[in-house]
Amino acid sequence: MKDYTDKLLDALDHSEQLTDAELDALLQNEEARDLYGIVNKTADALTETPEPDVEKEWEHFCALYGKRQPIIIRLISGRHAAAAAIAGVVSLVAVATTIGIRLAQNDRNTDSDSNITKEAVTINASLTIVAPDTVRIADERGDYTTVFKDERLDRILPVIGRYYGKEVRIKNPETGNLRLFFKWDEQLTIEEIVDQLNSFDQISIKYDDKTLNVE
C-alpha cells in the first residue's frame, strides 16, 4: 500500500498522469502538502545560480532601458579640429565598449559649457554589441537596427513602446512570455513595426495614440 510520500514522489515525476481533480485531492491531504512544502523549500535552497557577469548585465540593462537618442558629441571650436577628431575617436570607443557611458552622457544632457560651438556631430559605432543576446547595429547612414535574440515579447515591447511614446498592455501573460528573434529597424513607423510583429501567428497587437494593446 502506497503512503503519501510514495504518492507525492510518483506525482512529482508524472504529474501529467494525474487529472486536475486527482492532483488537487493529493495536495489537499495535509501530510502530502507538508511534504511538498519540504520539497519546495529544499528545491529553493539547493537552486544554484552561476556567478553573473555584472558588467555585461549592466550593459544589457542599458541596451533595453537606456534612452535611445543618438549620442551627440559637441565639438570644441573649429580651430581645434585635431582635438575634436581625437574626442570623436575616444567617444566612438566608449560607445562600442560601455553603454553605461552613453547613459551617463544622456543623463547629463544639460550641456552648459559656453565654450562649445553650435557644431555637432553624431558618432555611431558600425556594430555595437550591447549584450550577449541583443545587438544594436548602425548602417552607413547611422540608422539603427536593434536585433533582439531570444528575447521575451514583454521585454521587447516596452523598449519599442518607449521609443514611439506608447504604453504597452499585455492581456495574456503567456503571450508576453513568447521569445522572439526580432529585428527592429528604428526608422520604421510604429504601424510598420506592429505589422511585422503581427505576422507572428501567436501575436496580435492593436494600437491607438497612446497604447500598444497585446491580445
Partner 1 sequence: MTTVKDIEQLFKSNYRTLLILANRLVHDEDEARDIVHDVFAKLLTEDQREVTPAYLANGVRYACLNLIRNRSVRERFKNLYALDTSELSDDEWPDETTINMLNEIVDGRLTEQCRRVVKLRFGSRLSYRETAEELGISETAVYKHLRHALNVIRQTLNEK
Positions in the binding site for partner 1 (CB under 8 A): 5-6, 9, 11-13, 15, 20, 23-24, 27, 33, 35-52, 54-55, 57-58, 60-61, 64-65, 100, 103-104, 106-107, 152, 155, 158, 173
Q: Judged by CB, which is closer to partner 1: 88, or 176? A: 176
Given the DSSP bridges, would you call strands 211-214 and 167-170 parallel, antiparallel or unpaired?
parallel
Cβ(184)–Cβ(160) under 8 Å?
yes
Cβ(62)–Cβ(71) under 8 Å?
no
Rounded CA separation 50/42 (Å): 18
| Residue 84 C-beta: closest distance to partner 1, Å | 26
Cβ-based neighbours of 187, under 8 Å, separated by 6 or more: 143
| Residue 18 C-beta: closest distance to partner 1, Å | 8
Q: Judged by CB, which is closer to partner 1: 23, or 127? A: 23
Taking phi first (over 0 means left), then psi (-120 to 50 degrees means alpha), and beta for anything else, what does residue 10 get?
alpha
Q: Judged by CB, which is closer to partner 1: 78, or 173? A: 173
| Residue 13 C-beta: closest distance to partner 1, Å | 5
Q: Length of the chain, please?
A: 215
Rounded CA separation 83/66 (Å): 28
Euclidean distance between the first and the last CA atom of the chain, given in angstroms as a whole number: 49
**Amino acid type, 189:** T
| Residue 5 C-beta: closest distance to partner 1, Å | 6
Q: Judged by CB, which is closer to partner 1: 36, or 163? A: 36
| Residue 65 C-beta: closest distance to partner 1, Å | 5
Q: Judged by CB, which is closer to partner 1: 84, or 151? A: 151
| Residue 57 C-beta: closest distance to partner 1, Å | 6
Q: Judged by CB, which is closer to partner 1: 54, or 82? A: 54
Cβ(127)–Cβ(135) under 8 Å?
yes
Rounded CA separation 175/202 (Å): 7
